[in-house]
Amino acid sequence: MVFFCKKFVIGAAVLATLGTFVFGRDVVSYMKTAGNSVRQAVKAEVPVDFEVERARKMVEDLVPDIRRCMHVIAEQQVDVESLQNEIHESELAMKQQKEAMFTLRSDLESNDTEFVYASRTYTKDEVRNDLSQRFDRFKMATDTVKRNTQILKAREKALDANREKLENMLSAKMDMEVQIEQLEARLKSVQAAETVSNLEIDNSQLTRAKSLIKDLNKQLDVKEKLLDAEGKFTGLIPVDTKVEKKRDVVKQMDEYFKLKTGDRVAVQ
């Protein structure tokens, strides 16, 4: 295997050296042109119906990509809906916390020193500490909602982009399917035209056969005319033909010798 690789490398180097020696700096251009010519020649020999079927297969190969895109969109929809619900719940909780904070704030502004919440008594310092913790958590929750809202917008934007991509892919796929159907229709039309063109060759052969039959009929007509000119009518009823009567020599002798019927003639 190593020996073969060495021979291949050496052969390629020799060819490259010879090409450079013959064509000089233009060797690369000549090689590219030769390669393009070979590719075009090979492509020209590929049947059109094969290329149409290859195009159909390429369109069918888009289906896995379309399904993957649909799967990504489905996951993104779930993530977007989940984040939307999370933001909505956070906003509801923040609204309740905001109302509670303003209630505590209002109590702290009063002159009371103790406060009762849910049947339990709290001092003013305890209420102030609780309000501080609530306020800090509210600010953190607000920041979280802001970040989640930004993330939601980004995810919605990506979702819209993938939806548009999917729509474009589906539209392009349908357009290409229509174009392939049109190509097949055109191909069948061309094939039908080629069939008719081949039949024209048969028509020319038929024309020659008819011409030959016509010439043969003409030759027979000439022969019949010649026969008519020579008085040799063929195929007619012999109306003018006379039948030669048989000679009655006995009657002729009776008339010549004036004999009656039954008389014997004595030879003298």
Establish if 130 belongs to a structural domain.
Answer: yes
pTM of the model as a whole: 0.52
Same domain (yes/no): 134, 22? no
Q: What CATH number does the domain containing 136 carry?
A: 1.10.287
Say which residues have a Cβ less than 8 Å from residue 241's Cβ, sequence separation at least 6: none
Residues 38 and 90 in one domain: no
Instruction: Kindly report, residue by residue over 79-120, the tens digit of the pLDDT.
Output: 999 999 999 999 999 999 999 999 999 999 998 889 999 999
Domain boundary among 159, 179, 199: 179
41 found inside a domain = yes
3-state secondary structure of 149: helix
pLDDT digits (tens, 9 = 90+) for 11-59: 555 555 555 555 556 655 655 565 555 555 545 566 777 887 888 888 8
Convert the pLDDT of each residue in 147-199 to its tens digit: 999 999 999 999 999 999 999 999 988 998 898 888 888 888 887 877 766 65
Residue at 40: amino acid letter: Q
Domain housing 1: 1-45
Q: Are 40 and 56 members of one domain?
A: no
Is 93 part of a structural domain of the chain? yes
Whether the CB-CB separation of 141 and 100 falls below 8 Å is answered with no
How many domains does the structure of the chain reveal? 2
In a domain, 229, yes or no: no
Opening angle at CA 197, ends 194 and 199, nearest 5? 115
Question: CB 15: neighbour CB atoms within 10 A?
Answer: 12
